[in-house]
A and B are shown apart, each in its own frame.
Chain A
Amino acid sequence: MLRRTFLGLLGGAGALAALPATAGAAGKHFGPHPDTMAVLFDATRCIGCRQCEKACNEVNNLPAPEKPFDDMTVMDTERRTDDKTYTVVNKYATEKGGVFRKMQCNHCLEPACASACFVRAFKKEPNGAVTYDASVCVGCRYCMVACPFSIPAYTYNDPITPRVVKCTMCSPRLAEGKLPGCVERCPKEALTFGPREEIIKIARARIDAYPDRYQHHIYGEHEMGGTCWMYLSGAPFSEIGMREDLGTTSAPELTSGALAAVPMVVGLWPVLLGGIYAVSKRNQKVANAEKVMAVKNALTKASSEAEKKLSEELKKADVANKRLIEVEVKKAVEEALSAKDEDAASSEEES
């Protein structure tokens, strides 16, 4: 491996430590922008004519649907947004009779899709729209997993240029000073477009004016940290296919804890692991030293004992030898003496 490549990798590790810090500072919040626009959908006004669906299809140049927009039988089954549709209207049987509810991207103030996207393909525009840039999209579909409203769709049958499909809040039209296609077309004023602050006031005014007609809740004011599409309904929201258990915590807040832990691990783990290594190595060294010392001591003890024994043996041997010599000498002397005696005796006999 080239030295430069390795250094580059180390740099990458450094970046790893630095990145989440910047993410925490700059990326935790995508909005809200002060002049965020919003749309109010009033389910008590919607007659399910599907004109909004048709307008959306036209202004966004989406492919023609299988069944025409004046075919109302499509509402017999609950539909969702898909790779050919940015918005659908569903019909729900409720305690207040049949109620229609439009569904499209809610353009969250803190979008889950934008927070989840690892290539920043989603952007929260100052006008409130959450837009998508297919030119960088890898196609991991984590945005679809993350979206609490299950809105983004994917062109699964496109092998070369598959992409995510979702409502843009007609961001290009807003830039031209036009209304979103669906809002412009709605014949019953079930859709109201305006600055988000104003829209909330309008919604609250309607609830105050007709407290018996409405649920006393503006759906989207706080859900998932707040959205740019908000809803009024006569029937409970759960009866018109809207989750009431989403809570008010925005998606980026849900993951901020896990992200915040990353730089801590990068900082502390090497110290902890290096410490464990040092302790285990030292333990081993001490254990080895003790072993060596023990062997040495044993050897010294053994050798001194052996020496002692040897000298004792030698001493014993010495004594034995001395006695042996004494005996031998004595014997020799005795022999010599007796020989002398014999000589004397024989000479006596001879003489």
Chain B
Amino acid sequence: MSTVEHASAQRKSLFTPFNIVAAIILAAGLVVTVMRFTGGLGAVTNLDQNNPWGIWIGFDLLCGVALAAGGYTTSSACYIFGLKKYHAGVRPAILTAFLGYALVVFALGYDVGRPWRLPYPIFVQQGTTSLLFEVGLCVMIYLTVLFIEFTPAAFEWLGFKKIRNIVVKMTLALTIFGVVLSTLHQSSLGALYTIVPSKLHPLWYSPYLPLFFFVSSICAGLSMVIFEGTLSHKPMHHLMDKEYLDNHDGLILGFGKGCSLILFGYFAIKVIGLAYDNNWHYLATGYGAWFLVEILGFVALPSFLYAIGARDRNIPLIKWAAGLTVFGIIVNRFNISMVAFNWQLPSQLRYFPSWGEITISLFVVTIGVLAFRFISTRMPIFYEHPDYKGEH
């Protein structure tokens, strides 16, 4: 199907199943939004005095930031490690990361009590002893960096040649800056929990939490690029140029190989963490079984599947491994923020998300998908702009 035909077909069928579901989620999200900002957090969440953080932190913040790590991993592979063949994958990854971080901040607007004060920690009174301050500062700067990294696509679309060329010249500096910031806030999200050895189950608590979060964010980023490339392949196929399509399988193979190795390293340091604190005896408990499911099923297994997939050049297997890794990262962040947090409290005092919280999380993801579709169908994301072809 040619592009013209496809565009007209799209216009005709605005009521696709996807659009209808998205519209329902958006409508429900708007209703909950009104409830949240008129009735307070208590009106829509299951948060209480013992459980101050729910899925808006566990999913929207922790998973959101980890899964947006594709931006720094892909851009550093291409621009720092000199793997130029991944160039076509950089723009989709940067766009995803930018939208991911923007939505993390957007979602925090629901979670914090007085969102209009979010700039306070940076501009009014700095709590420099807090790891959350570190996270806030890095996320704010990194969101700006990602925005600048994204702007060339917008400038090409708008035809602003001069400023586009200036920004492109800053690519290497921005990429290095982005990796520094990502290292810091990805690890600091884990370090947030180093203050609560008494509340987080020993199998998940570790002085190495910052390292665990950083290393797993690389796996999350690489896997997310594969996973998302798979998702957008069909609906966006008509937009993808020859360079993107020719390199797509190579990118999947390369990232799969890399991810297999890093997941193996992650598995190793998780086991070392276990040994360092001598927590072996907890493995025989119920939490221990769940911990084993996490590190065997969602770390060791995808590492193995990636390795086989890379050896046999089995693209579908690599894609499955990517899905498993992404799911595993979500499981890990949920375990640390909710399942293993407050583990000593009796079950009736434990947290479970409310429908309102789930609705807002779905609402945020839906906005992200729609924004990605809106931008990638208009700006040169999956293809090179004809005026700047072969410039890299």
Contact = CB atoms under 8 A, between A and B. Distances in A.
A150 B50 contact: yes
A247 B131 contact: no
B367 interface: no
Contact of B80 (A1, A23, A157, A276): A276
A199 to B, nearest CB: 24
A119 B120 contact: yes
B129 interface: yes
Most buried by A among B36, B41, B113, B188: B113
B232 interface: no
Interface string A110-143: 0010111111110000000000000011111110
Contacts of B115: 138
Give the interface residue-count category, chain A: 35 or more
A162 interface: yes
Contacts of B194: 254-255, 257-258
B41 A258 contact: no
A20 B134 contact: yes
A274 B137 CA distance: 23
Interface stretch (B177-185, B290-298, B320-328, B375-383): B177-185
Most buried by A among B53, B120, B121, B195: B195
Interface string B115-136: 1011011001111111111101
B112 A252 contact: no
Contacts of A202: none
Interface stretch (B196-204, B236-244, B255-263, B268-276): B196-204
Interface stretch (A100-108, A179-187, A260-268, A291-299): A260-268
A115 B125 CA distance: 14
Most buried by B among A27, A83, A138, A270: A138
Given A112-B195, A119-B125, A140 B134 contact: no
Nearest to B172: A277
Contacts of B138: 16
A347 interface: no
B26 interface: no
A269 B127 contact: no
A72 interface: no
Interface string A268-308: 01100110110011011000000000000000000000000
Top 4 A-B pairs, shortest CB-CB distance = A139-B113, A280-B82, A156-B42, A258-B191
Interface of B: 36-43, 45, 47-50, 52-53, 76, 79-82, 111-115, 117-118, 120-121, 124-134, 136-138, 141, 144-145, 148, 151, 172, 176-177, 179-180, 183-184, 187-188, 191-192, 194-199, 207, 209-210
